[in-house]
Copies of this chain bind each other. A is one copy, B any other.
């Protein structure tokens, strides 16, 4: 298993990326190909114990910056770490690609470098989101690749989410829910009204429309939405977790009797923060392209990079791409179209 990591991507690169790569190589026993400027990468590697770990460098002289215009940067910077890493995936020299760089750039580079799976109209970005089901999470998509969608895209997102939940998350018959403003079929936008019958007619285990409050309660294993709503939702969750923490800190300060309690309960509070931390579920999988692509948060620290590499390994091991390919073929063979 060889994972190509964009060593230059992210707010804290290459320090955080290299550190995360060392950590992941140690913990998961995989080869991490560090793609980027060799001198910078070597300087970071020198700060860690790397003996016995497989951390080859793949040279790339350019970097797609966080504020670069995605499509233009991908076309112009042919020797950028993203473009070079994806070429390695395309040529079969890497099993997956991980980046914490410009996310628009990553989507454009993946589309351009790997191409869409035949039959898939729009790739989507999915992420796990914590819930109280036996699995501990559901899979939410799209969380940002497509801000404007058509009903048939959402049907395809549902199919890809089904494949991911089944193959990578090992949920035998994933329940698919459509994010809406009410459980009733007549609620929701025009788009929702148009997608609902498509999902009902599909071979997927469609359990109906779910509300924002139902995502964490485990009502569905795959939550389908457009990239605008999904993006607002996960960033909203991040914001809500943040303000709850702030409010808790303020309350603790205001109540002397709670200070001792807070100290003792610190372990518990820290543990829950880790679980709701965006870093934990921020490793988005780009589904619908011909390769495993994981887009991590720009603010990723070493822990988040390690996590994104784990997600990439999981997706590659479980043949997510092939699963989506056969899923599309199957649907086409049944319905004559997708």
Q: Which residues of A approach B to under 8 Å, CB–CB?
A: 130-132, 144, 147-148, 179-181, 187-190, 192, 211-217, 225, 227-229, 231-244, 246-248, 251-252, 255, 257-258, 260-269, 271-272, 275-276, 278
Contact = CB atoms under 8 A, between A and B. Distances in A.
Contact of A276 (B188, B228, B240, B271): B240
A240 B216 contact: yes
A269 B272 CA distance: 13
A176 B264 CA distance: 41
B233 A251 contact: no
Contacts of A188: 147, 228
A247 B270 CA distance: 11
B181 A147 contact: yes
A72 to B, nearest CB: 12
* Central interface residue in A239, A255, A276, by most chain B CB within 10 Å: A239
B244 A215 contact: no
Contacts of A243: 130-132, 216-217, 276
Shortest 8 CB-CB contacts between residues of A and residues of B: A261-B264, A212-B235, A261-B265, A212-B236, A216-B243, A251-B268, A213-B239, A147-B189
15 contacts: A144-B181, A148-B190, A189-B228, A211-B235, A212-B239, A213-B239, A215-B239, A217-B243, A229-B232, A237-B240, A247-B276, A248-B268, A251-B268, A251-B269, A264-B265
Contacts of A144: 181
A172 B50 CA distance: 58
B267 A265 contact: no
A91 to B, nearest CB: 32
Contacts of A275: 247
A267 B243 CA distance: 18
Contact of A257 (B190, B267, B271): B267
A216 B264 CA distance: 28
Contacts of A276: 240, 243-244, 247
A236 B236 contact: yes
**In the complex, which of the residues A214, A227, A272 has the most CB atoms of chain B within 10 Å of its own CB atom?**
A272
A204 B283 CA distance: 37
Given A239-B217, A240-B240, A275-B247, A264 B269 contact: no
Given A233-B233, A276-B247, A264 B258 contact: yes
A14 to B, nearest CB: 24
